[in-house]
Amino acid sequence: MTLIKPSNFDSTTFTLKVTGLSKTSPLVGNPNSEGVTPNPDGLSDVVYKVLWELTGTDTSTTPYVVSSKSGSTLLDTTGLTSSNIVSFSSLTNDVVSGWLINSDPFISHKYTICNNILETKSVEDTSVPW
């Protein structure tokens, strides 16, 4: 499926706030379709799921129009080793946001927010001729 870039995408700024991190592993030995491998390389303190809120602000009009969307994303833990893992205590909103913000699913989330903003800007003419 090809996504169509909304007309207000370039005038919309996005902020991703991480609202939670889950270290609950999927069933051991059962990697799922999203690439989540339980206890990769025998590691502990692995983040498997990120809960987030994405906010878009369209700055092309005054006042600015804002729309938000919340969700969660499973992280691909295949290939995670002791040499490339970021310790849980070292994680920040910026680090975790960087894992997500430009991924393909987030482009779709950004487009959804832009389209929601466009819907709030449009005015439907419901006048009657009498």
Peptide bond into 40 cis (omega under 30): no
The answer on pLDDT for 117 being more than 80 is yes
The span from the CA of 68 to the CA of 16, in Å, is: 10
Residue 11, pLDDT score: 94
Residue 41, pLDDT score: 74
Tell me the average pLDDT of the chain: 86
Share of the chain above pLDDT 70, in %: 86
Domain ranges of the chain: 9-121
* Residue 36: both structure tokens together: 């989540």
Share of the chain above pLDDT 90, in %: 51
- H helix or E strand, kind and range, residue 110: helix 104-121
Residue 37, pLDDT score: 67
Residue 27, pLDDT score: 60
Torsion sign over Cα 49, 108, 17, 92: positive
Each residue's pLDDT tens digit, 46-93: 898 999 999 999 998 888 899 999 999 988 888 888 899 998 999 999
**pTM for this predicted structure:** 0.80
> How many other CB atoms sit within 10 Å of the CB of residue 40?
19
Each residue's pLDDT tens digit, 6-56: 999 999 999 999 999 998 876 655 555 556 666 677 788 889 899 999 999
